[in-house]
Structure 1
């Protein structure tokens, strides 16, 4: 049966970062491993392009949502192409066939009685494009996933009967489909706490897929997560005029970040139950890449650009570091120094140097032609190597690629130790035959290692195999059947892994990242100079000939009514602001903005997408923030 594996459908609110690269490289690794074993495998990736966040980001860039989505989606696809990712499908949720399939899915679920219309009253996180009940919120206001402030709203919505599938989901989890297991337990606890029906349409913005005509309701668009999750099956022909390849979904595996596990392990299987489709065989949830323990964020300025890392240190080096540095499911700390250290000690000193030693001695003693059928000197070593190779499959199938590499690298240790033990530079003086046997033994270790490292280092693996005069067809004999190749005609190649040095510009960027994470320290006396007060907004009006500025009249209690100008017009309607309590610095020197006196500064927070949100405190206006 052909395996069908997917990356998440990446949200196009910004360019790809190292976390996106990590997921995609993991999936590419898994596909290449399956193909190495002779299994057919199809890989899907793509971009998620609808939703309020995209609409807002496009507006900020003075582009239409489609233009904005086109530009970011192109960057994702171009990056995966430059990284030699072996994807078979690249879906965009703005593709016409996907639009047709999503509408069909909505109709099927509606006809099954799993969709109904009601009013949604609760809290919505724009950043996560997700609704939350009061019991799910942090401090009765904050998003439990990203920690940002949610918006209370009441609007007409279509709902999916998620609660109907609670018991079926809990039964499905018994099959051990979610990895790592501690993530599975988190999902089970979430579902056992009780599922509420899910709002699956929005009516407050327009950038999304409209409801099917059969529903006869043009006020609503389909919830971005229902839209995005269906992208795993619309390229296979679900509900549209593409060739029907839905049989592939019988053996589906999803790779996701831990922050979107709930959507894939709760909402998605429930949708599939409703559509009477098979459920995924496995869902793998990985951790985040952090910088000095902090999650990467555009607003903080600590996002790592994977293209820059690959261009500076090499794509294969980056692949090796990302896969070997952290246990799957755990968070990892990205560091240029750690990357270069691991590359030099493991890629250069162990694997690269071993190949160089083999080529050097083969050239010097045998003109690159080595042959032997007597491996009696190395029987124990051969058994150890074969046992290690035979153990690797379980590590990859259980998504332990760092352990896979750790074990694989131990065969190169065996080779290097064996060379030192037998001292071929001394042995050649009296026993040329045993030296040839030793070099053939080393060549066999490199052949086995080159084949097994192919999923992680495909280009380097091919170069090693070409140097040894073998190819993937040798997998059956030397891996599956543990045979030894008896004759090699070697070809000299340039060193595969030259020693790396930390580039000064990368160190400077890392320093800038750290500097941006925490601004310069201030003492209490400096902070006390700021008079931050709570004010109640009395009025808010747009500034003439400006798209960004609003002029406010704000009551600060005993400190009087003040006029403040603020650049938040793209994020709020004036009418929604009247009557709310906000934070402001009121002892700034008055300034003129567009000819209007501003007597203070409103305090806002900026998220990773550049969206601004006013800081609010529901206490008496005039109160001091201290």
Structure 2
């Protein structure tokens, strides 16, 4: 079975921030989980390098759009490995192979009768690179995302005849109720469609930084159509000498933030219909990471540097926090204080301390050998169906809920330690078998939750599984009793408590 997941491609008009890291981490959790299930996985991310926002940022910086794109694309490329993300390819939309594929697909859209020349007039946000309709404008004639005053634009462009696809889109939504999730975002997209679709600009006649239109070299394609097609075009050249399109298209999941819902949930499926291409299976729309009540945004200046967080706490801690503290699919506030509290209480105490003391008890009482004995049925009952439940939730991209299911078992293991008190059993005459059963149950429970946690905290999970002598992270082994360790090795604290630097 194949599984293809994408992030949006990120604008190169400035450096990456935590919002970009959030989507990339979420997609990586899905990619890692599906690899655990033995599926054929492809994970794509990259950069969106054309259009007015990039041209404007380059002009302000006194460089060419190409120079700005080259500089910032490398910053985004560097972000993925720092996050421990396992993307299979990083696409740049300035790649000539992408440019040619975009021209081919959009020529097909024109040949199929969905393109006409016309004049567009209306309010425009240069940072969104988007004309706004009435219900997308906030008080003061401002963009609801960037909070800047909209410009009135009038341009002669080629138009994508979106209106012709109104009925087909409504029928598709009816036939595929799980195409967009969560349900509130599906309703939002469907409401937009039912409100009456208008034709939209396919090209721009006043820009030069973009993909040239093959039938009219005085125009370039509107950046959004160029960008959306990356999900499809990348498969044609991501692997040297191999076309992966038939293997992975249509995409299983697109992960996007809610500010680009209209493009991915309305324009994108319509474009694919017009080009006679299969539609993706799912688009999951997540919320915003908020600071000071606003979405994190380069233009608003309210950003948290993921590189700085990782330098102090490690990538696993950031990955865990973002998908634990903010319910995936909803808006949520983030802060340095909340991060440190979550790190201390759950990663250092709940999980890290559980791992350390469980291993140390086996080393102390059994010289590192895990007793070959049965597991405690009382604890085993709490793990019944856990792996299946996690697979079910992640199959619907419910990343935070799945993590909570696992964390309930981490807490259950901690309670089990207190209930059984192995240090007392070790001192009582005739309780050797009871101590053996408790130690083995704890070690095996620790292994199972660690296999399940691997997509979220891959680095520390691998360290702990190596110490248990069971490095395999396949989901087939994520049930209690499937692969009981035989010996353990001591390890340093997985999540050492952070000591802030003393004030000067």
Give 2:235's aligned residue.
236
Give 1:410's aligned residue.
408
3-state DSSP class of the match of 2:212?
Answer: coil
The 3 A distance-change label for structure 1 pair 147 and 462 is same
Q: Which runs of 5+ in 1 are unaligned?
A: 509-626
Deviates more, 1:12-21 or 1:308-317: 308-317
Deviates more, 1:279-288 or 1:145-154: 145-154
3-state DSSP class of the match of 2:494?
Answer: coil
Contact 1:340 1:501 in 2 (8 A): no
3-state DSSP class of the match of 2:63?
Answer: coil
Larger radius of gyration: 1
Structure with higher RCO (Cα < 8 A, 6+ apart): 2
* Residues in 1 aligned to 2:353 and 2:142: alpha-carbon distance in whole angstroms: 53
Deviates more, 1:249-258 or 1:95-104: 249-258
Aligned residues: 498
Give 1:471's aligned residue.
471
3-state DSSP class of the match of 1:394?
Answer: helix
3-state DSSP class of the match of 2:154?
Answer: strand
1:188 corresponds to which of 183, 190, 194 = 190
Give 2:158's aligned residue.
158
Give 1:382's aligned residue.
380
Q: TM-score, normalised by structure 1?
A: 0.76
* Residues in 1 aligned to 2:389 and 2:260: alpha-carbon distance in whole angstroms: 31
Q: TM-score, normalised by structure 2?
A: 0.94
* Residues in 1 aligned to 2:157 and 2:81: alpha-carbon distance in whole angstroms: 40
Asked if residue 279 in structure 1 is aligned to residue 290 in structure 2, the reply is no
* Residues in 1 aligned to 2:344 and 2:12: alpha-carbon distance in whole angstroms: 35
Give 1:336's aligned residue.
336
Asked if residue 420 in structure 1 is aligned to residue 422 in structure 2, the reply is no
Residue 70 of structure 1, CA deviation: 0.3
Contact 2:387 2:475 in 1 (8 A): no
* Residues in 2 aligned to 1:449 and 1:362: alpha-carbon distance in whole angstroms: 18
Deviates more, 1:43-52 or 1:135-144: 135-144
The 3 A distance-change label for structure 1 pair 389 and 133 is closer
Give 1:210's aligned residue.
212
Give 2:368's aligned residue.
368
* Residues in 2 aligned to 1:333 and 1:477: alpha-carbon distance in whole angstroms: 36
Give 1:130's aligned residue.
130
Give 2:35's aligned residue.
35
Contact 2:106 2:275 in 1 (8 A): no
The 3 A distance-change label for structure 1 pair 242 and 259 is farther
Once the two structures are superposed, residues 330-362 of structure 1 have per-residue CA deviations (whole angstroms, 9 ceiling, x without a partner) of 111111111111111111111111111112111
Residue 136 of structure 1, CA deviation: 5.0
Contact 2:114 2:160 in 1 (8 A): yes
* Residues in 2 aligned to 1:461 and 1:386: alpha-carbon distance in whole angstroms: 21
Asked if residue 494 in structure 1 is aligned to residue 496 in structure 2, the reply is no
* Residues in 1 aligned to 2:404 and 2:142: alpha-carbon distance in whole angstroms: 41
Residue 9 of structure 1, CA deviation: 0.7
* Residues in 2 aligned to 1:5 and 1:22: alpha-carbon distance in whole angstroms: 15
* Residues in 1 aligned to 2:241 and 2:135: alpha-carbon distance in whole angstroms: 43
3-state DSSP class of the match of 2:157?
Answer: strand
* Residues in 2 aligned to 1:330 and 1:436: alpha-carbon distance in whole angstroms: 45
* Residues in 2 aligned to 1:82 and 1:273: alpha-carbon distance in whole angstroms: 37
Q: How does 1:601-616 map to 2 (within 5 A)?
A: none
Between Structure 1 and Structure 2, the one with more strand by share is 1
Contact 1:6 1:43 in 2 (8 A): yes
Give 1:246's aligned residue.
245
* Residues in 2 aligned to 1:475 and 1:137: alpha-carbon distance in whole angstroms: 47
Residue 145 of structure 1, CA deviation: 4.8
Residue 79 of structure 1, CA deviation: 1.4
Give 1:393's aligned residue.
391
* Residues in 1 aligned to 2:326 and 2:473: alpha-carbon distance in whole angstroms: 31
* Residues in 1 aligned to 2:136 and 2:408: alpha-carbon distance in whole angstroms: 47
Q: Which runs of 5+ in 2 are unaligned?
A: none
The 3 A distance-change label for structure 1 pair 288 and 136 is closer
The 3 A distance-change label for structure 1 pair 330 and 203 is same
Once the two structures are superposed, residues 282-312 of structure 1 have per-residue CA deviations (whole angstroms, 9 ceiling, x without a partner) of 0011111111322334454321111111112
